[in-house]
Structure 1
Amino acid sequence: MELRHLRYFVAVAEEGSLLHAAERRLHTSQPSLSRQIRDLELELGVKLLERKARGIELTAAGRVFLDHARLALMQIEVGSEAARNTERPHKPGFGLGFLPGQEVIWLSEALRIVREETADVDVTIMTKSSPELANALMQGEIDVALMRRETRTAGLEFRFLVKEPLIAILPSHHRLARHKTVKPEDICREDFISTAGAAPVLRKIIEEYAAKIGIKLKQTYDAETLSAGMSLVASTGGFTLVPIYVQNSLLPSVVARPLHGEIPTIDLVMGYNKSNTSPLLKRYLLRADELASYGPRTQKGSFRKTEMPRLKRVQPGR
């Protein structure tokens, strides 16, 4: 078995399609990719994938092997980076990760804690989806992230920070926008635009909320980002459900309204890798309660300024 077999299998599993994996991720032909997967299955002695009309599905063995394959590739990458770092001059660094838009609320306080713990440090800021932040933590790209409590997170630990209520985002001219709160029985008649394509935890919260109060959401679009979701809300006349922090970055053509009755919430947590031995991370975690108490004070957008250490920004993902 070679590393390329693991990379090919993970790409196919994540894309859900041999063709998409071959063209988008691996830049090879589909027949060649199919042969590589068959070779892997023959070596393992089990079937990993089932070919379906709309793509592929993992078998029970494939689901188990996927987690181990991902972990093996991550360990190789971490080991390779560690080896490369031995040839570079040592420079203290600390990586902070945020969900897109959350850094507006949390960055100043997070940087204050870093600055008070050590003055001479290069801070890297990463803004990505929660699953991408989990991968970055597992691969050692960042030290701590404000994210969701993801499930496929080998070696990660989470500290609870705050519960964020979900709110409805509507076009500013929508008939329901004139109400102070939006009733579930009203929104279930409208077109629902999901922004949880890259946010499995948010998707689960919304599904559980709809099932609990007995409504069925009419999903018409599935946006990959919050900004795309708001654009679709404005252009189609539909609505979406998002965590409350999104109200800090609304488009002028949409409005936020609280939900009437029982309000669903989603946890924001601080994630870190248990195997990370950074002394700065250990000191940072001892002050997690400061972040937890800071969040509720800034939910409405009252943010403090702080002196900034040297920063490197990593461009956000999808």
Structure 2
Amino acid sequence: MELRHLRYFIAVAEEGSLTNAAERRLHTAQPSLSRQIRDLEMEVGVKLLERRARGIELTAAGRIFLDHARLALMQIDLACEAARGTEQPGKPGFVIGFLPGQEVIWLSESLRILREEAPGVEVTLSTKSSPELAHALMQGKIDVALLRRETRTAGLSFKFLVKEPLVAILPCRHRLARHKSVRPEDLCRENFISTARAAPVLKTVIDDYAAKMGIPLKQISDAETLSGGMSLVASTGGFTLLPLYVRNALIPAVVARPLHGDVPTIDLVMGYNKSNTSPLLKRFLLRVDELVSRTPQPEYSLRSPRRGGGNPSA
């Protein structure tokens, strides 16, 4: 797969037409563009676009792939900027941290705001688990991070962003995977895969939910990462509970299903070190409300199983 394939796909998705994308955006012939899209779909292994009477529409897989394609190109742009920055050692830098998978949702608007506030700043991404992000903030290695409200975070402040519902992660052939939603009482008989080591705040939310609903969690394992938890779900036939955003990074052997009834949620916050005197950080924090309002959030709907690669950490 080449970068041009991603650029071509994004152009077609945004234009909603092969003809318009070929003529207006890419300045190439439509037959050539169609071949490039077919090559991309063969490489990915799923159909990404559907031809309709009114133009081109994204498939469910195409919508997921579009987010990741945009992220990949943004990361390439950042890498190029960082490389060019080595020729300008005095150029200011700013480090922003994300939970793996959250950058797909939040990076685009974050970069827009940062570049409006400081057009010449060199932005670096740091992708870590929530406890690791908190530790890096305390050490001054990261300027700002989107993470959980961790405990034992001396010197850090947090700004609330959004509440994320939890979903049940099940093997794709599990009996409960056939349902549109999962009732909490149906989980009582199932083995539970914990992700406490990777996401202690998530563990607290799950424990509180289980106590409230009267669900005895039959824990059989504690995964070191969330992707490891999904692998254990697939191999043991058990289940786990994860924030909704991870549906963009499910391994092929599992599916996500919404919980029925009173759905537990986990807060996503923006964290920073109170001793950080960066003027750009202060201006960025002033635009948090704008960041939230302009960042599309995943809808709490899982009519189609979302699959893909990744290594999310709640």
* TM norm structure 1: 0.65
Cα separation, 2, equivalents of 1:293 and 1:246: 21
Deviations 1:82-113 (A, max 9, x none): xxxxxx95330000001111111111111111
Contact 1:194–1:229, Cα closer than 8 Å, also in 2 = yes
Q: Is 1:113 paired with 2:106? A: no
Q: Which residue of 1 aligns with 2:273?
A: 273
Partners of 1:317 and 1:250 in 2: how far apart? 12
Specify the SS of the correspondent of 2:101.
Answer: coil
Contact 2:101 2:312 in 1 (8 A): no
Letter in 2 for 1:194: S
Do the aligned residues in 2 keep the contact of 1:196 with 1:223 (CA within 8 Å)?
A: yes
For residue 297 of structure 2, what is the aligned residue in structure 1? 298
Q: Which amino acid aligns with 2:298?
A: Q
Name the aligned partner's letter for residue 112 of structure 1.
Answer: R
In 2 relative to 1, CA 120–316 (structure 1 residues): closer, same or farther, beyond 3 Å? farther
Partners of 2:297 and 2:267 lie apart in 1 by 16
Cα RMSD of the aligned pairs, angstroms, is 2.1
Q: What is the one-letter code of the residue matched to 1:158? A: F
Q: Please state whether the residue corresponding to 2:216 is helix, strand or coil.
A: coil
Q: Name the residue aligned to 1:43.
A: none
The CA deviation at 1:316 is 9.8
Indicate yes or no: 2:224 matched with 1:240. no
Name the amino acid aligned to 1:255. V
* Aligned partner of residue 291 in structure 2, secondary structure: helix
For residues 1-318 of structure 1, the aligned pairs below 5 Å read: 89-295=89-295, 297-300=296-299
CA contact (8 A) 2:97 2:126 kept: yes
Per-residue deviation, residues 16-57 of structure 1 (Å, max 9, x unmatched): xxxxxxxxxxxxxxxxxxxxxxxxxxxxxxxxxxxxxxxxxx
Shift of 1:124: 1.2
- Pick closer, same or farther for the CA change 1:149–1:96 going to 2, 3 Å: same
- Percent pairwise identity: 74
Larger RCO (alpha carbons 8 Å, 6+ apart): 1
Q: Deviation string for 1:211-264 (max 9, x for gaps)?
A: 011111111111111111111111111111000000111112111101111100
Amino acid at match of 2:204: K
Kept in 1, the 8 Å contact 2:246–2:312? The answer is no
How far is the alpha carbon of 1:200 from its aligned partner? Answer: 1.2
The alignment of Structure 1 onto Structure 2 pairs a total of residues equal to: 217
Structure 1 residue runs of 5 or longer lacking an equivalent are: 1-87, 302-314
Cα gap change, 1:218 to 1:317, in 2 (>3 Å): closer
Counterpart code for 1:223: A
Call closer, same or farther: CA 1:164–1:119 in 2, change over 3 Å. Answer: same
* CA distances 1:143-164 after superposition (whole Å, capped 9, x unpaired): 1000001111111111000000
Q: Distance in 1 between matches of 2:194 and 2:291?
A: 29
With the length of structure 2 as denominator, give the TM-score of the two structures.
Answer: 0.66
Q: Which runs of 4+ in 1 moved over 3 A?
A: 315-318
